[in-house]
Amino acid sequence: METKAAIISGDTMAKENGNAHVQLTVDQLDAGALFVLKSRGSWWHCGYHLTTSIVAPSLLSLPFAFRLLGWVGGIICLLFCGVVTFYAYHLLSLVLEHHALRGSRLLRFRDMATNILGPKWAIFYVGPIQFGVCYGSVVAGILIGGQNLKYIYVLCNPEGGMQLYQFIIIFGTLMLILAQIPSFHSLRHINLISLTLSLAYSACVTAASLKLGFSKNAPPRDYSVKGSPVSQLFNAFNGISVIATAYACGMLPEIQATLVAPLKGKMFKGLCLCYTVIATTFLSVGISAYWTFGNEAMGTVLTNFMSQNSLPSWLIIITNAFCLTQVSAVAGTYLQPTNEAFEKTFADPNKDQFSMRNIVPRLISRSLSVVIATIVGAMLPFFGDLMALIGALGFIPLDFIMPMVFYNATFKPSKRSFIYWINTLIVAISSVLAIIGGVASIRQIVLDAKEYRLFANV
């Protein structure tokens, strides 16, 4: 169970009570809150963290989701998930502001579950799901980084003999360094660069798609949804899981924890910045690449580009380089919930953050975390199929269901009010999508199982 000390953050953090601020001392904080979740950031910094956690190379799978859903289904789902997640994240931020104004600043998803629903929800549901999706995102990020390295290598040296797992290990070595960044707030400048890079590679993908689509060598386009009626149904739910995962964050409370008090309105500004970038990147990449490749869109559009000889190699190399650099920031961001848990467990809050007593366990725990993620990524290069399952059973509950539950439990709107019923409707629809999406993902894993091979060079 989280202690009261775990609910407040900062070196001498301000507890909000209306416009008054009561200073709390360091000995009231656990090491995770004190060292990792430092509340020193502005709404700009919060926007950078949000953007990096959502606008990741997973958006390059949106054309594939369109392939499974078709034009109408793809666009409707993309817009619907965008509206619902913005609404859900805003509700979550309002709940956090409400508790801060009452003197209990909740810093973590599991703090919210403990305080609002009870400790069992944190221990047996919210905590395990959050760690699963965040650590799964780290594994996926290391795998994507290795794939980007391999794409660049193949373009520069077509006859080269290096295998995918070797590139994953190289990228994992880079992550060993980034994992040692001491706090979430320390990532703010890196995540600003990440935001810029996401715009850059999205622009490159859009330009490459349009150039190819209007060229004489444009691939034949067919926008029909393939498969039998049963396959189309399951594939549609798989596509919904892909889009939902693309919008997923999974750690908004931890991001809001980096804000300096007072909190009022800051997260909303950060969300507006984030969703401006989302609208620019998601729509441009999803629509342009699906328009070009139709139902031949692959799991990531970069795979389609690699098979096209009419595109200049320098454009594909630059696009992969931008993705490679940005995904390192994404993986570093998703390491923060596990880093916070390690600090809370192994660090001593009464010692200096950079004392030998705290540096040694930090170095060991974070390094082991990255090494294990790298080994899993190298062994299971088909991890994308597993991420669809993680998205359905992890990100959808965290980002589409729990915010509505927390809001209704905190503010207790009238059962006759519009907001109560819209929240309840979103919870019901999301729960059905999570269950069916999970079944569809498992089905896809079973269908693809015959192609699975450890350390495959895909």
**Domain harbouring 368, CATH code:** 1.20.1740.10
Q: Determine, yes or no, domain membership for 417.
A: yes
Q: Determine, yes or no, domain membership for 432.
A: yes
Q: Determine, yes or no, domain membership for 152.
A: yes
Q: Determine, yes or no, domain membership for 348.
A: yes
Q: Determine, yes or no, domain membership for 379.
A: yes
State the pLDDT at residue 2: 42
State the pLDDT at residue 383: 61
- What is the C-alpha to C-alpha distance for residues 184 and 270, in angstroms, rounded to an integer? 16
State the pLDDT at residue 399: 92
Q: Determine, yes or no, domain membership for 8.
A: no
Closest CA to 9 of 346, 343, 259: 259
* Tally of domains within the chain: 1
State the pLDDT at residue 204: 96
State the pLDDT at residue 21: 36
Q: Which of the residues in the chain have pLDDT under 70?
A: 1-28, 383-385, 387, 455, 458
Q: Determine, yes or no, domain membership for 15.
A: no
State the pLDDT at residue 269: 96
pTM value is: 0.90
State the pLDDT at residue 11: 41
Range of the domain at 386: 43-101+121-181+190-249+263-451
Q: Determine, yes or no, domain membership for 17.
A: no
State the pLDDT at residue 458: 67
